[in-house]
Structure 1
Amino acid sequence: MMKNIRILLFTDTLCDVNGVSRFIQDISKLAHQKELAFYVVTSTAKICPDLSNVQIIKPLFRTKMPFYPELDLVLPSYKRLKSITEEIDPDVVHISTPGFVGLMGRRIAQKKSIPMLGTYHTDFPAFAYKNMPYKIVKHIGNKVMEYFYRDFKALFVRSEAYKKIVQEDVKFDPENIHTLKAGIDTRKFNTSYKEMGIWQMYGIPETSVKALYVGRFTKEKNFPLLLELWKAYYLQSKNKNIYLIAVGGDLDESLFERYHIKSLGIKRGEELSKIYASSDLFLFPSTTDTLGQVVMEAMSSGLPVLVSDEGGPKTLIGDKQQAGYAINVNDRILWLEKIKVLMENRSLREKHGENGHKIIAEMDIAKSFDAFWEVHMNCNHNVTVL
């Protein structure tokens, strides 16, 4: 049973190729289908999906995010954000990101005494520390997050693994930390999209064994480490009809062609769904992901996964690692061993892939949204039953 409540979500990312954007788009569509008063506001100059409950304002200024060039750092109009808030008149404000849009949304909510909730989508202190490995950077990052979230009624984390991190690093009351149930639109990512002919357009043999990576080509995602691991595996492998396929950025293929590393750039929609379902396994060594949306998409597409044992992705593959392996990124020998096992054992790949597909089938985005709505509803008592 839903209750009539008005929620306004502020986000600095909505039209970008990342898990946070896809999640917010998915719950916006669900809210519209359920005829619930859920609204999203963002500021960007990028092309966005046309959603009736999303408002996009033009930024006054924008530049590339440091260490994250795929994402714009934008300065929106405070006056316009305030006007939108007054028009919607929300019962609850949700701050999805701690950027300028989130900061202004937080300020507006404070001035109007509107209850605030948030989601710890990205571990920014860990992100900063990965790019600038000094303890003071991590310490300052934690203090900034502690200050930012201190007046929030509740805070969502994307996996159980991050409950303790938010409690200890952000000093947030554990009673008000909620795990937002993992969920994706399984209609977009599933085995039915398998189409081996798609590899012809990329110059990749259909008969090859294909390891897939989807994400930013950056240090905090441990992408440089993945390249080194793949090169080491390729050189020792007797079978050279193998490829590492990287989606999500640009790579100078001339440097990696001899190792059969192919960069496909940024992909969206059905093409991305086909790439997932037509690959053989998924490699994702990131240690800064609070959940791992791309890992869920890979599992839903029937791929076995090899992930880091730090952060959210490890929580997806099952207690007994039924869908793949979670390994410490410092143990390169074990990473190479498991890459070898999955690349060379088709029956094992299929077993892990089937298990992963079943796990994600239970993680429907609708269940995630219902839990999200329930917490917001409980933080505001001026509601009526629908």
Structure 2
Amino acid sequence: MRFLLITDTFPPDINGVARTLATLAAGLKQRGHEVEVVTTLEAGPDEAEDAIKRHTVMAMPLPGYPGLRMGFTTTWQMQSLYESFRPDALYVATETPLGIASIRAGNKMGIPMVSGFHTNFQTYLEDYSLPGLEGVAQGLLRSIHNQTARTLTPSADTAAMLERWGIHNVGVLGRGVDTALFDPARRSMALRETWGARDDTPVALYVGRVAAEKNLELLTCSFAKFREANPSAVCVVVGDGPKLKSLQSEHPEFHYAGSRTGEDLATHYASADVFIFPSITETFGNVVLEAMSSGLMTVAYDYAAPRLLIHTGQNGLLAAFDDETAFLTQCEKAANCWEDATQRQAAREAARHLGWQRVIEQFETELKSVIPPILAKDPA
């Protein structure tokens, strides 16, 4: 079958949505389907020759966030692409002008569509100087997603939210992790030494965008609490974003590793001890899976992926959602039990059963489910 994925972000972008969509696209291709992607960025120089074929559209940086882009196209242009590729179904993973034009063209041509809700952009508005517009954004998102046959989102929490907004036929498509890549065996003493950490020095780690919506103020307070409880501790930030320079200026005591990918990223995870994740805006939180697969004790809020995976005192530490005092208390606990090998092995075991194959199979089933039986056919 032919599937077309439509998204503003795709590798070489470095973020959870881009990695997820690349994994899903590659998985569909491995299962015998013809897959192409419409996105905003050309392929990187290291992309394999047999990589997913992409069609790029015009784009502009998101206001206040130059590292991400918003795609632009027309209904006519998308219809022309559909006529050329003849997709059996579309997966529209963006609510920007690119996604809106893609859905409009799909409806005009009668092509079955599934949409994806990957990012809580409506909660970012206040962080990016647009307060008071969350209700307007919810109405727009409801209108967009209800034009597709089904909307997929990665957690039950987010699915319940979408249903409260009036979005119909919402499904949960979870996430997976490459447990061979994110493995405690990648721990590197040489890397720890560059951070000034000995074998008996606890390292607290953050991985993700360095941006306002990631609750950076609580992150810095959490690192401070961690070091207060264990003065020898080292704190490491992996990632890039619009707030990186200001964070570096305000907190030069942290180590900043920048963006990392592949084995390099996996080594950074495995070389730490505790993962601190204070965000309250996730639809899932792929980094939590990666940290747990790497054998780290995770401190996070009780929602999305952490709620699904973490059992406090057994394989990590949860705090009541958006309760900063409780979160800091858990960071203090983590600083005092970071060497708990039982909890860290249990974190690894919890992630071990969450490989990508089951997610890819469900994604394939979801796409096939919106195709009328008379049009369905076996993969080429």
1:92 Cα deviation (Å)? 0.9
SS of equivalent to 1:302: coil
User: Contact 2:28–2:364 (CA<8 Å) still a contact in 1?
Assistant: no
- Alpha-carbon distance in 2 for matches of 1:69, 1:53: 26
Report the equivalent of 2:176: 183
SS of equivalent to 1:167: helix
Equivalent positions of 1:188-203 (< 5 A) are: 188-200=181-193, 202-203=194-195
User: Contact 1:23–1:184 (CA<8 Å) still a contact in 2?
Assistant: no
Aligned: 1:245 with 2:236: yes
Cα deviation, 1:314-359, whole Å, max 9, x if unaligned, reads: 33324566321221364333222211221222343x3332222111
- Residue 6 of structure 1 aligns to which amino acid in structure 2? R
Aligned: 1:106 with 2:121: no
1:140 Cα deviation (Å)? 0.6
1:53 Cα deviation (Å)? 5.5
Bigger shift: residues 105-114 or 290-299: 105-114
User: Contact 2:35–2:53 (CA<8 Å) still a contact in 1?
Assistant: no
- Residue 88 of structure 1 aligns to which amino acid in structure 2? F
1:80 Cα deviation (Å)? 5.2
- Residue 151 of structure 1 aligns to which amino acid in structure 2? Q
Q: Taking structure 2 as the reference length, what is the TM-score of the superposition?
A: 0.89
SS of equivalent to 1:85: helix
- Residue 339 of structure 1 aligns to which amino acid in structure 2? C
Pick closer, same or farther for the CA change 1:371–1:196 going to 2, 3 Å: same
Match of 1:172 among 164, 167, 176: 167
Aligned: 1:222 with 2:220: no
Aligned: 1:255 with 2:250: yes
Pick closer, same or farther for the CA change 1:86–1:352 going to 2, 3 Å: farther
1:19 Cα deviation (Å)? 0.7
Q: 5+ unaligned residues in a row in structure 1: which ranges? A: none
- Alpha-carbon distance in 1 for matches of 2:256, 2:120: 27
Pick closer, same or farther for the CA change 1:204–1:254 going to 2, 3 Å: farther
Report the equivalent of 1:368: 359
- Alpha-carbon distance in 1 for matches of 2:76, 2:174: 34
- Alpha-carbon distance in 2 for matches of 1:198, 1:145: 44
Equivalent positions of 1:248-287 (< 5 A) are: 248-249=239-240, 250-251=244-245, 253-257=248-252, 260-287=253-280
User: Contact 1:59–1:77 (CA<8 Å) still a contact in 2?
Assistant: no
Match of 2:39 among 37, 42, 60: 42
- Residue 142 of structure 1 aligns to which amino acid in structure 2? Q
- Alpha-carbon distance in 1 for matches of 2:235, 2:356: 30
SS of equivalent to 1:384: coil
- Residue 351 of structure 2 aligns to which amino acid in structure 1? I
Match of 2:348 among 347, 352, 357: 357
1:22 Cα deviation (Å)? 0.5
Pick closer, same or farther for the CA change 1:52–1:96 going to 2, 3 Å: farther
Pick closer, same or farther for the CA change 1:318–1:147 going to 2, 3 Å: same
Cα deviation, 1:13-36, whole Å, max 9, x if unaligned, reads: 002111111111112222222222
1:209 Cα deviation (Å)? 1.1
1:212 Cα deviation (Å)? 0.7
Report the equivalent of 1:337: 329
- Residue 38 of structure 1 aligns to which amino acid in structure 2? V
Report the equivalent of 1:307: 300
SS of equivalent to 1:346: coil
Match of 1:17 among 11, 14, 30: 14
- Residue 278 of structure 1 aligns to which amino acid in structure 2? S
Cα deviation, 1:250-309, whole Å, max 9, x if unaligned, reads: 34535323xx31111111111101000111010111111111011111111111111122
Equivalent positions of 1:26-37 (< 5 A) are: 26-37=23-34
- Residue 160 of structure 1 aligns to which amino acid in structure 2? A
Pick closer, same or farther for the CA change 1:309–1:318 going to 2, 3 Å: closer
- Alpha-carbon distance in 1 for matches of 2:152, 2:10: 18
Bigger shift: residues 313-322 or 366-375: 313-322
Aligned: 1:290 with 2:283: yes
How many residues are matched? 370
1:142 Cα deviation (Å)? 0.4
1:377 Cα deviation (Å)? 0.9
User: Contact 2:195–2:234 (CA<8 Å) still a contact in 1?
Assistant: no
Report the equivalent of 2:54: 56
Q: CA RMSD in A?
A: 2.3
Cα deviation, 1:102-154, whole Å, max 9, x if unaligned, reads: 222212212211111111111121222454574x3110110010111111111
User: Contact 2:219–2:278 (CA<8 Å) still a contact in 1?
Assistant: yes
1:78 Cα deviation (Å)? 6.0
Pick closer, same or farther for the CA change 1:119–1:193 going to 2, 3 Å: same
1:45 Cα deviation (Å)? 4.7
Report the equivalent of 1:148: 144
